[in-house]
DNA sequence: ATAGCCATGTAACCAGTTACATGATTGA
DNA sequence: TCAATCATGTAACTGGTTACATGGCTAT
């Protein structure tokens, strides 16, 4: 299990509340590790039992009291130990691939439609990552050096999304070459707001 | 949940026992959907309760009786329905990325060592996929057309592994550029057996 | 009115892993 | 002697999701 360790890494970066961590899991680290707030609160409790984190309560009126967690010495030690033992590569369970594998030729139109959705989504994500990379390059050299490792994870994201997109387009082409008039997708323009019903 | 559907897809291809499915999950479909035999037996039981599969018992002496499962009409219908409703992209929980994200500069040597292990593993896998692609191209055109969709999943694997390797090498280079004399990995020669302890 | 932000959590459930159990046959 | 292959399964556990619960504040 490494949600524990993902949380430790985040708290090492900067102390925070459970809510706060949940937000952070929606960006940055969230691109390669997912967690919902319910699970985070449970893990924080376990981490506290292990004495790997502590918290201070910040009283608030009108809202539940904040618990601002920070990593302990013991937590840092545990993190270091975890870093030195190899992890196994993540298992992938990708339902889309199951569909493609199992689809009949007659399912092609359906699959093409679904691939298009994924293409749109991944194009948006690639644009987003591109932005992030630009803003990294906007930093001075010292800062860039400092954030070298997190930057590498962004590179991973970019490569992954790019590769995924290339495959989706390849798959689409091959499937559409079935008799479906190849109606090309709109170029990634993003931000086209649709009005509410 | 789609282990159910992954199993249906496999049984649609060809009937088989639980054991048999477990083997198939180690190759082909197994590269994008993982399952152990324990889970497979449970799902088969559920699928049977749903009447999506049936089985015939083949008595064997000296071994437990075989249950050869096949998909039912109802199962095929359920599969078709599943195909037509979009799946969400798989969540990734990649511990290696957490390490890279959270590592300190001083952890670089450790990380480089671990990256090297992954590089070796992925190179072997890329070679393996390359073989599979070659043997696909060795087929006549009719067969190739027939296995077009499964072939696409192989393409996915190739692209994924290639992209992963490129990133691993990029990451290695950037981390090793810390003061570590860059001792290059052996080229992917594979099959170098090491004698047992 | 409705949804979203902040901030915490519990409970029920679904999905997946690890360990345990049986037992003959074949090969290193 | 040890491990692997064939063939089934149960039990305990860990990991993760969905639904439910509270409650004021702000923006549409």
pLDDT in tens, B140-192: 999 999 999 999 999 999 999 999 999 999 999 999 875 444 455 554 444 43
CA A151 to chain centre: 14
CA angle A124, A130, A132 (to 5 degrees): 110
Judge if the beta carbon of A46 is closer than 7 A to nucleic acid strand C.
no
Task: Name the residue among B155, B161, B78, B150 with its Cα closest to residue A92.
Answer: B161
Judge if the beta carbon of A38 is closer than 7 A to nucleic acid strand D.
yes
CA angle B124, B125, B127 (to 5 degrees): 65
Q: Nearest protein residue to D16's C1' (by CA)?
A: A39
Round and report the angstrom distance from CA (B64) to C1' (C22): 10
**A87 close to B (CB below 8 A):** yes
Judge if the beta carbon of A93 is closer than 7 A to nucleic acid strand C.
yes
Which of B39, B98, B169 is the best substitution to test chain A (most A C-beta atoms within 10 A)? B98
* pTM, 2 dp: 0.87
pLDDT in tens, A60-99: 777 778 999 999 999 999 999 999 999 988 988 999 999 9
Task: Please give the DSSP secondary-structure letter assigned to residue B53.
Answer: E
Q: pLDDT > 90: what percent of chain A? A: 76
Task: Name the residue among B37, B44, B34, B61 with its Cα closest to residue B4.
Answer: B44
Number of residues written out for chain A: 197
Which of A98, A121, A144 is the best substitution to test chain B (most B C-beta atoms within 10 A)? A98
Q: Nearest protein residue to C14's C1' (by CA)?
A: B1
Cβ–Cβ of B89/A96 closer than 8 Å? yes
Q: CA–CA separation, A5 vs B70, rounded Å?
A: 43
Contact B36, B22 (CB under 8 A): yes
Q: CA–CA separation, A124 vs A151, rounded Å?
A: 19
Cβ–Cβ of B167/A153 closer than 8 Å? no
Closest by Cβ to B33, choosing from A12, A28, A93: A93
How much is the pLDDT for B61? Answer: 75
């Amino acid at each position: 299990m490494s949600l524990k360790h993902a949380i430790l890494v985040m708290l090492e970066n900067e102390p925070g509340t459970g809510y706060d961590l949940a937000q952070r899991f929606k960006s940055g680290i969230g691109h390669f590790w997912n967690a919902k707030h319910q699970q985070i609160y449970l893990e924080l409790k376990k981490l506290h039992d292990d004495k790997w984190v502590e918290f201070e309560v910040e009283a608030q009126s009108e809202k539940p009291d904040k618990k601002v967690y920070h990593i302990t010495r013991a937590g840092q030690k545990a993190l270091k130990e975890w870093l030195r033992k190899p992890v196994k590569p993540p298992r992938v369970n990708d339902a889309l691939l199951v569909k493609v594998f199992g689809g009949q030729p007659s399912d092609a139109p359906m699959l093409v439609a679904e691939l298009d959705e994924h293409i749109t989504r991944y194009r948006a994500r690639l644009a987003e990552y591109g932005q992030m990379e630009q803003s990294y390059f906007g930093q001075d050299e010292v800062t860039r050096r400092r954030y070298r490792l997190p930057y590498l994870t962004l590179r991973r994201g970019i490569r992954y999304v790019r590769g995924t997109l290339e495959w989706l387009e390849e798959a689409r082409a091959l499937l559409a070459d079935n008799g479906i008039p190849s109606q090309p997708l709109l170029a990634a323009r993003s931000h086209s707001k649709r009005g509410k019903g």
